[in-house]
A and B are shown apart, each in its own frame.
Chain A
Amino acid sequence: MIPATFDYVRPSSLSDAVAALREADEEGKVIAGGQSLMPLLRLRLAYPEVLVDVSGLPELRGIRDEGDSLLIGAMTTHYEVIRDPLVQAHAPLLAAATATVADPAVRHRGTLGGSLAHADPAGDLPAVVLAMDGVVVTSAREIPVRDFFTDYLTSALEPDEILLGVRLPKAYTGWGHHYEKFHRTAQAWAIVGVACLVRRVNGEIAEARIGLTNMGPTPVRAHAVETAVADGPASRQAFQAAAHDAPDGTSPPSDLHGSAEYRRHLAQVLTARALAAAAGA
């Protein structure tokens, strides 16, 4: 299929980009790598009047060490995220989850910022940045990730607001981590995914952070499980018991690849596995 017509601008400054979106009056759409947007355009599921290409904006580039956090520019491709030494050192969970996104060619073009702005609950990265208590930095403000994803394919971004990057605290440096992705074929979206971080102290789990992919219209935190495993043994039995609560507070979809009931079951099994893998148990 072929996209419907749209105008295209590639501003070289952030202010021009914001102005272009403002001028488009809610009919504009930001394009970064375009790997989520292009299929929607081609299937004519999206009809923007203007595409604002942000690839020329220096503010969206690079990965910066900010002392107690990393700021990952929105235009950082999945390919770059996976290989970045700062990410590997301080956010290896993000690198691991990013390596499961789509396929190599898509990872060459697709960006972290694009994945977050697209706000697809089946995307792998929203749950990761949610688990890491990240902060989304935009052209206008900073939004904690927990407030960023508001509904299915919907974020807190205003129509004239551009995502510049995401700030991830270094607090999780050294934590055990694992992204457990369950899908039918290598290329398929996650039916359920579990992003997991654990801090082990003397063979016990001191703390855990768990984000769930595709268990509702937005990525969700499994707070009940986090609480249940904290200050408990790093054993499979304990993880299984705690993972029982993984579906609490979720509202998973029913679609071609899995019913809500199955997803709730998977969330339990996969959360237990993710905890075990993260804890090295």
Chain B
Amino acid sequence: MSEIAPEAVAEQVTPGTPDAKSEVGRARRRTEDARLITGRTTWTDNIQLPGLLHVAFLRSPISHARIGRIDAEAARARPGVIAVFTGADLADEQGSLPCAWPVTDDMVLPDHPPIAVDEVRYVGEPVAVVVARDRYAAVDALEAVDVDYEPLPAVVDMERAVEEGADLVHADKGTNKSYTWVFEAGEPDAAFRDAPVVIERRYVQQRLIPTAMEPRAVVCSAVGDEYTLWSATQIPHILRLMLATVTGIPEHRLRVVAPDVGGGFGSKLQVYGEEVVCLLLARRLGRPVKWTESRSEGNMAVHHGRDQIQRLSLAADRDGRIRGLKVDLLADMGAYLMLVTPGVPLLGAFMFNGIYKMDAYSFTCTGVFTNKTPTDAYRGAGRPEATFGIERLMDELANELGLDPIEVRRRNWIRHEEFPYDTISGLTYDSGNYEAATEKALRLFEYDKLRAEQADRRDRGDPVQLGIGVSTFTEMCGLAPSRVLGSLSYGAGGWEHASVRVLPSGKVEVVTGSSAHGQGHETAWAQIAADRLGVPFEDVRVLHGDTSVSPKGMDTYGSRSLAVGGVALFNACDKVIDKARRMAAHLLEADEGDIEFSGGSFAVKGVPGQARTLQEVALAAFAAHDLPEGFEPSLDSEATHDPENFSFPHGTHLCAAEVDTETGFVKLRSYVAVDDVGKVVNPLIVEGQVHGGLAQGIAQALYEEAVYDDDGNLTTTTMADYLVPSAADLPTFTTDRTETPATTNPLGVKGVGEAGTIASTPAVVNAIVDALRPYGVDDVPMPCTPERVWRALTEARRGAAPPGGSPEPGAGGGLGSAGGAA
């Protein structure tokens, strides 16, 4: 079953060894490490300014309430307290936090004051802010602020929230539905009519807390009318524009700096109320302010991710061919719409069909308000949800038909000779080779051997069963072609900017609008520029993350940096070379058409020895003593790149999980990830991104969940309750690559930041379900905690007999609460 036609593996998919002289493709060690491994890092909380004051936020302990009287007098009277402000105090200037993605014309978009004024709608929503001489005094004063809350009914459950007569999160809106967004292609009803196989499932994407290791922090200073805001943000450029819009501070008077940022994973792709308030405080008080959140504060107040109920139907023929797919989603917005809250689930609309061909598809998503922390982008943003849905369904289909899960995928996936391929959801996949990635993964995984072991354990009735999970995924990266964003009503474009400065000494400064926070742009961008310009890697410095240094950009998220920002840099380098070529021709007294550029040197075709290096040309341009007619004395160039299409990384992930049927404990035995991310600039960085992505995707499958009680209290506010896995909890991953270059950009790159996260969650859950299939289990809700696994087993045992009459493993297989163990 695991055999793939050998001709499928085209030669081009084996990653080649890079040219020894080439920087692109080299496993360069990262430039940025130097400060990070020595503790010389500029985290926002490390920044000290003269006269700096400290800020602390008082947050609602109640999920839904009217705010009555707030008495802050005692807090104001405390030693070292400079000021206390409530939402009412700031109501005239704090504005409403922006949502940049009105996904439908009639989307319900409530006001979102940075500090609540009349009503609080989730636990953790700010109700007052204290400014004090130090962080201890600020926190102490919070306890002296007295707030009267008049509790209102808490809306916690999404399905109940959309019922008729439900309590409302925003009473004035008359509904908890923010929007319903629909997409349809082909004839779904026809595809399902008389379909020999229909699989219907309800899956829940639990709510997650992104948990970047660096908690959020903001420092803001106002000098006259000039404002500088440092923030642990992924998006200094977007933040600058949005802060200007919200506060009315002119954009050109505001500088936003993202210094060293300790991870984001989407959580720092946001315009936060705390950022707005720090700006207002610096303006009001005329002194710089700093706010740093604690983890237990952040768990409530950093936007959450996922939280979606999926109702899925798949229609197929008896031979396994998919006829159609229907997707109906409820997506939890939380209490407010933040920067891209409503759009996140819709990114999945184009991905539910995955790598498969089908005749018809329909997608409906309803955004729902609840009294919980707002949701927004979290690593993968919409695509993990979709990939989970389709990859779980493919395993269910295989089971229904008695086919190997690899085989059922093979019967449906786009074959490598069919690219470019227009998918049912309207995207054009430019390149890929699912056969090659799958074959490589099967080999590395020793698929057949593990299947044999699985059969053996089943025969023996081993209390520890083995399951194998498959996930053959693709995703859309390179967000995004501006015309597509426009058609989806997004509030901005999806281009990226880069500029290249060749200094008189021949050294190079690259300025990028991408804003790295751990991805290693300072290294990878230098590799691209070094190659393109023919200068040593060490001669290139990459600048980013400060709007006064890098004035134009769309920042870092959605695996977009390389496929969009890297290409912008590539184009800017080419512009430098074009200018330099003209200058070199002039210096060499040759025709521009006769100048060849290679290895950093401009030579005259057919005239050996006649050459000028880029450095020489740069110096001559700087001196400007002898320029070609009309030549501006500079080689500096910039480029803004708007991608023509998304890019589509793909891969095959295989997971082997050992499931203890007595306790429900799941241990990952092995994990193989073969990813095709197109051309690779730095394989070391790519591998690291895959590793980290896998850890996060596995964590969704096994460990993490933001849990609310019936009153809307978050019960996982600390890391003792919200379980982020440690080294001891994760397996060693086997990673490898195949390589089909993207055809829509000159670097051939596709993006890698989210691949591991997107692919791994369904691989793990498929493995768990596969292990338990003989017991009659066909799903375990995420996270697959030991108790949930045990309950799934217990309930399956209470319910129907095992499918296909297969014998229950082992006498006294340790199930149920009565018997104990085998």
Interface residues of chain A, those whose CB is within 8 Å of chain B, are: 1-2, 4-5, 39, 43-44, 182, 184-189, 191, 236, 240-241, 243-244, 256-259, 261-262, 264-266, 268-270, 272-273
Task: Tell which of B143, B718, B785, B817 touches A265, judged by Cβ atoms closer than 8 Å.
Answer: B817
Interface residues of chain B, those whose CB is within 8 Å of chain A, are: 135-136, 139-140, 143, 294, 296-297, 662-663, 665, 703, 707, 715-716, 718, 720-721, 723-726, 728-729, 785-787, 790-791, 814, 816-822
Query: How many Å lie between the Cα of A182 and that of B814 in the bound state?
Result: 16
Residues A240 and B820 in contact, CB atoms below 8 Å apart:
yes
Contact (A265, B821) CB under 8 Å given A2-B139, A4-B140, A185-B703: no
A-B CB contacts (within 8 Å), total count: 80
Query: How many Å lie between the Cα of A187 and that of B724 in the bound state?
Result: 9
Closest to A245 in B: B820
Ordered nearest first, which 8 A-B pairs have the shortest CB separation? A186-B728, A265-B817, A268-B820, A262-B787, A1-B294, A240-B820, A269-B662, A2-B139
CB distance from A232 to the nearest CB of B (A): 15
* Extra A-B contacts (16), CB below 8 Å, given A184-B723, A243-B821, A244-B819: A1-B296, A2-B135, A4-B143, A182-B663, A182-B665, A185-B703, A185-B723, A185-B725, A240-B819, A240-B822, A243-B820, A244-B820, A256-B715, A257-B785, A269-B814, A272-B820
Task: Tell which of B294, B663, B720 touches A266, judged by Cβ atoms closer than 8 Å.
Answer: B663
Which residues of chain B are within 8 angstroms of A191 by Cβ–Cβ distance? 786
Which residues of chain A are within 8 angstroms of B703 by Cβ–Cβ distance? 184-185
Residues A43 and B296 in contact, CB atoms below 8 Å apart:
yes
Q: Would you mind naming 10 contact pairs between A and B with Cβ atoms under 8 Å apart?
A: A1-B297, A4-B140, A44-B143, A182-B665, A185-B724, A186-B728, A241-B820, A244-B820, A258-B787, A265-B816
Query: How many Å lie between the Cα of A262 and that of B819 in the bound state?
Result: 13
Residues B662 and A5 in contact, CB atoms below 8 Å apart:
no
Which residues of chain B are within 8 angstroms of A44 by Cβ–Cβ distance? 143
Contact (A184, B785) CB under 8 Å given A43-B296, A268-B821: yes
Contact (A43, B787) CB under 8 Å given A2-B139, A269-B662: no
CB distance from B640 to the nearest CB of A (A): 44
Residues B720 and A188 in contact, CB atoms below 8 Å apart:
yes
Closest to A265 in B: B817
Query: How many Å lie between the Cα of A1 and that of B724 in the bound state?
Result: 19
Which residues of chain A are within 8 angstroms of B720 by Cβ–Cβ distance? 39, 188-189
Contact (A269, B663) CB under 8 Å given A1-B139, A185-B729: yes
Closest to B294 in A: A1
Task: Tell which of B143, B721, B728, B821 touches A272, judged by Cβ atoms closer than 8 Å.
Answer: B821
Task: Tell which of A236, A257, A264 touches B817, judged by Cβ atoms closer than 8 Å.
Answer: A264
Which residues of chain A are within 8 angstroms of B724 by Cβ–Cβ distance? 185
Residues A262 and B140 in contact, CB atoms below 8 Å apart:
no
Which residues of chain A are within 8 angstroms of B294 by Cβ–Cβ distance? 1-2
Residues A269 and B821 in contact, CB atoms below 8 Å apart:
yes
Closest to B788 in A: A262
Query: How many Å lie between the Cα of A257 and that of B705 in the bound state?
Result: 11
Query: How many Å lie between the Cα of A182 and that of B786 in the bound state?
Result: 10
Task: Tell which of A186, A268, A270 touches B726, judged by Cβ atoms closer than 8 Å.
Answer: A186
Residues B716 and A256 in contact, CB atoms below 8 Å apart:
yes
Which residues of chain B are within 8 angstroms of A266 by Cβ–Cβ distance? 663
Which residues of chain B are within 8 angstroms of A256 by Cβ–Cβ distance? 707, 715-716, 721
Residues A269 and B726 in contact, CB atoms below 8 Å apart:
no
Task: Tell which of B296, B297, B785, B817 touches A261, judged by Cβ atoms closer than 8 Å.
Answer: B817
Query: How many Å lie between the Cα of A2 and that of B141 in the bound state?
Result: 12
Which residues of chain A are within 8 angstroms of B820 by Cβ–Cβ distance? 240-241, 243-244, 268-269, 272
Which residues of chain A are within 8 angstroms of B725 by Cβ–Cβ distance? 185
Interface centre among A44, A186, A268, A269 (most CB of B within 10 A): A269
Which residues of chain B are within 8 angstroms of A268 by Cβ–Cβ distance? 817, 820-821
CB distance from B269 to the nearest CB of A (A): 26
Query: How many Å lie between the Cα of A268 and that of B820 in the bound state?
Result: 6
CB distance from B710 to the nearest CB of A (A): 14
Closest to B725 in A: A185
Contact (A259, B787) CB under 8 Å given A2-B135, A187-B726, A240-B821: yes
Closest to A261 in B: B817
CB distance from A193 to the nearest CB of B (A): 13
Query: How many Å lie between the Cα of A51 and that of B665 in the bound state?
Result: 41
Closest to B729 in A: A185
CB distance from B216 to the nearest CB of A (A): 15
Which residues of chain A are within 8 angstroms of B821 by Cβ–Cβ distance? 236, 240, 243, 268-269, 272-273
CB distance from A103 to the nearest CB of B (A): 8
CB distance from A229 to the nearest CB of B (A): 13
Residues A184 and B786 in contact, CB atoms below 8 Å apart:
yes
CB distance from B46 to the nearest CB of A (A): 18
Which residues of chain B are within 8 angstroms of A185 by Cβ–Cβ distance? 703, 723-726, 728-729
Query: How many Å lie between the Cα of A257 and that of B783 in the bound state?
Result: 11
CB distance from B531 to the nearest CB of A (A): 43
Query: How many Å lie between the Cα of A259 and that of B664 in the bound state?
Result: 13
CB distance from B297 to the nearest CB of A (A): 7
Closest to B727 in A: A186
Closest to A42 in B: B294
Which residues of chain B are within 8 angstroms of A188 by Cβ–Cβ distance? 720, 723
CB distance from A228 to the nearest CB of B (A): 12
Query: How many Å lie between the Cα of A241 and that of B723 in the bound state?
Result: 34
Interface centre among A184, A236, A258, A272 (most CB of B within 10 A): A184
Query: How many Å lie between the Cα of A4 and that of B136 in the bound state?
Result: 8
